Chain A
Amino acid sequence: MIYGDKKTGVLVQGATGKQGEFHIGLMNAYAQQVGGRGVVAGVTPGKGGQQVHGVPVFNTVKDAMKEHDIGAAVIFVPAGAAADAIMEEANAGIRTIVCITEHIPVQDTMKAIAYARMEGASVIGPNCPGLLSPGEVKMGIMPAGLFSHGNVGVISRSGTLTYEVVDELTRAGIGQSTVVGIGGDPVIGQTFVDVLERFENDPQTKAVVLIGEVGGNLEEEGAKSTDLPIVSYIAGVSAPPDKRMGHAGAIVEGGEGDARSKIARLKKHGVPVASRVSEIPDMVRERFRCHC
């Protein structure tokens, strides 16, 4: 596993909101199933002293840290407050911060991620489904029923598409070590490179499925950075080209952020790219003969 395990105590920021409450319930149901600690504390300013599904709520992250051993945080607060939540957690000493919140202005994300980096924290997301290590821990909103324990790591920029891939893998009898949704925004904390580095140091992970999308070149940077066997899928082959980013987009990405040229470059690096999601399990099995 990477980022956390059964022993990781999780804090939820935005615990008393509709989303926070709903997912504390699901995360702790999973913790109970696997015998993990799960969500041990919640934070909502002004709601300190309340409980959500039996989990104590605090006014600040530092208050929660005084009473509980916390290794990771999951953020469900609204977009306007999410960057502040990331910085509060990083400043309080939490080292793994998962930000589920979507629609955060990118200027706020850049500031929060720069701040977290300064404090030594890793941010997953924003605009992501979080992560799940089957049999160990769930931090986020992924539907646990689709997952199975095994040796294949999954990294994805997408949410539901990740579930689709995990579902295909599980049905084919290929279990997962950790599945990480890194988020769909232009600026995200942990990128393919960062997560692959963790997978390289994780003895459980033998191969990685990398699910990318049109835009940017982080998939290629990731593929170049690792020796782990990779199978990839890139969504957006049929997407009309986005001309909005002007010359700057073309200069930075060499005019190659589109899915087809991304696929071509991955193949050039020796990474097999599936043309359909349903091809992924066979490609994982055939190419790597991993015992999964």
Chain B
Amino acid sequence: MKLREYEAKNVLWEAGIPVPAGFLIRSADELTPHLGALGAAFVLKAQVDVGGRGKAGGILMAGKSDGTKVAKELFGKQIKGLPVKEVLAEQKLDIQHEYYLSITVDRSSKQPLILFTEAGGVEIEITAREHPELIKKVVANPLMKDLPPFLIRELIGKAPKEIGPVINKLYKIFIEKDALLAEINPLVTTPNGVFAADAKIIVDDNALGRQGIAMNRDLSEREREAEKHGFSYVELDGAIGVIGNGAGLTMATLDLIEFYGGKAANFLDVGGGAESERVMNAVRLVASVPSVKVIVVNLLGGITKCDEVAKGIIAAGISQKVIVRLAGTNEAEGRKLLSEKGYEMLDTMDLVVKKAVQVTA
């Protein structure tokens, strides 16, 4: 789950990494008591859970005289469809130079990977593409609690020495907060020292419990409903509902829909060994999206009992057409139950998908 900017900056501040003076406000009026501390010019940043908020108008410059007016404007906006409920009012920094620093999980080396460049800022991805040699990369041994000083020296090179402690502190955050990503871009030098001007922290969804995070904000309401049942669920914008078991098979089913020229409305992964009640809940959830015209059920696996799946589909009693492909134990019983109720059951995933695309065409 991605932390909001103000949450990430709080984590940085608690770890001893300097961040610009800032205040979280939930209405334009809440800005007034902070106007003195913010100085002549400051920044108002919408705290919405979407990327690219700057270009979408979510970051505005303001001053002492027009601050409240600008804040009102920002609170009245929708950023990529999301209402602005929280705004971070932040001191404007006197930036001398912008650096980029991040720590992420490297799939190749299976270790934390630290990236640092003196060419930080908004153009970082262009730099990475055109001048990869400017980006320094080191991997850390996950069995060690601290970064050895030589690694930090290798990273910062001729950059100011005061960046060293920031790297070590960010590494501690990465480990202790179960982060998949801890990124400071830009990390800036000012006449008053270094500051994390922006920060991004993504917490491992598998560690939310031990991090004391009760609810995953990255999920929509229906996705959260699905999570309660132990399903993984994603919403798209077509007309075919998809139920599968296992992420790979479900993804392959979606790809096949696209291959045959159709579009999926959503997909739900029921997991292994689905019993009738689970299947019923899954079918009802997928069918609850109004745009779903037909549902493809594609279940495969040794421990999935086809008669249980059939009972679940029948018990769901939904109005949309359901096309089923089942392979596993008790296949014949499952087929019999479904055909008695007039459901269509086909032998391969190619056949069910082709049929569903025809129905929605």
In Å, the complex CA distance between A118 and B206 comes to 25
7 extra A-B contacts, CB within 8 A, seeds A162-B248, A248-B102, A276-B256: A107-B207, A143-B303, A184-B248, A213-B251, A236-B255, A237-B258, A250-B125
Against A, the Cβ 8 Å flags (1 = close, 0 = not) of B205-240 are 011001000000010000000000000000010000
Q: Which residues of B contact A188 (CB under 8 A)?
A: 110
Against A, the Cβ 8 Å flags (1 = close, 0 = not) of B79-117 are 000000000000000000000101111111011110100
Q: Which residue of B2, B142, B200, B327 has the most chain A CB atoms within 10 A of its CB atom?
A: B142
B301 within 8 A of A: yes
Q: Which residue of A115, A211, A244, A278 has the most chain B CB atoms within 10 A of its CB atom?
A: A244
A74 within 8 A of B: no
Q: Which residues of B contact A255 (CB under 8 A)?
A: 125, 129
Q: Which residues of A contact B206 (CB under 8 A)?
A: 79, 103-106
In Å, the complex CA distance between A130 and B141 comes to 27
Please determine whether A114 and B254 come into contact, CB atoms closer than 8 angstroms: no
A110 within 8 A of B: yes
Known A158-B247, A164-B249; judge A246-B202 contact (CB<8 A): yes
A residues in contact (CB < 8 Å) with B: 22, 26, 79, 103-107, 110-111, 113-115, 118, 141-146, 156-164, 167, 184, 186-189, 191, 211, 213-218, 221, 233, 235-240, 243-252, 254-255, 259, 275-278
Closest partner residue, chain A, to B328 (CB atom): A143
Against A, the Cβ 8 Å flags (1 = close, 0 = not) of B298-338 are 00111100000000000000000000000110000000000
Contact pick for A235, options B125, B218, B255, CB 8 Å: B255
In Å, the complex CA distance between A104 and B183 comes to 23
Q: Which residues of B contact A146 (CB under 8 A)?
A: 302
Please determine whether B300 and A248 come into contact, CB atoms closer than 8 angstroms: no
Please determine whether A145 and B104 come into contact, CB atoms closer than 8 angstroms: no
Please determine whether B246 and A158 come into contact, CB atoms closer than 8 angstroms: yes
B290 within 8 A of A: no
Q: Which residues of A contact B204 (CB under 8 A)?
A: 105-107
Known A236-B255, A246-B200; judge A161-B248 contact (CB<8 A): yes
A5 to nearest B CB, angstroms? 22
A238 to nearest B CB, angstroms? 4
Please determine whether A157 and B185 come into contact, CB atoms closer than 8 angstroms: no
In Å, the complex CA distance between A142 and B246 comes to 13
Chain B interface residue count: which class?
35 or more
In Å, the complex CA distance between A236 and B259 comes to 12
Closest partner residue, chain B, to A243 (CB atom): B51
In Å, the complex CA distance between A265 and B95 comes to 41
A241 to nearest B CB, angstroms? 11
Please determine whether A276 and B202 come into contact, CB atoms closer than 8 angstroms: no
Q: Which residues of B contact A143 (CB under 8 A)?
A: 301-303, 328
Q: Which residues of A contact B272 (CB under 8 A)?
A: 141, 159
Please determine whether B2 and A244 come into contact, CB atoms closer than 8 angstroms: yes
Q: Which residues of B contact A249 (CB under 8 A)?
A: 104, 181
Please determine whether A160 and B181 come into contact, CB atoms closer than 8 angstroms: no
Closest partner residue, chain B, to A23 (CB atom): B303
A200 to nearest B CB, angstroms? 20
In Å, the complex CA distance between A246 and B245 comes to 29
Known A110-B105, A245-B180, A246-B181; judge A235-B202 contact (CB<8 A): no
Closest partner residue, chain B, to A157 (CB atom): B248
In Å, the complex CA distance between A235 and B202 comes to 25
In Å, the complex CA distance between A167 and B347 comes to 12
Q: Which residues of A contact B249 (CB under 8 A)?
A: 158-161, 163-164
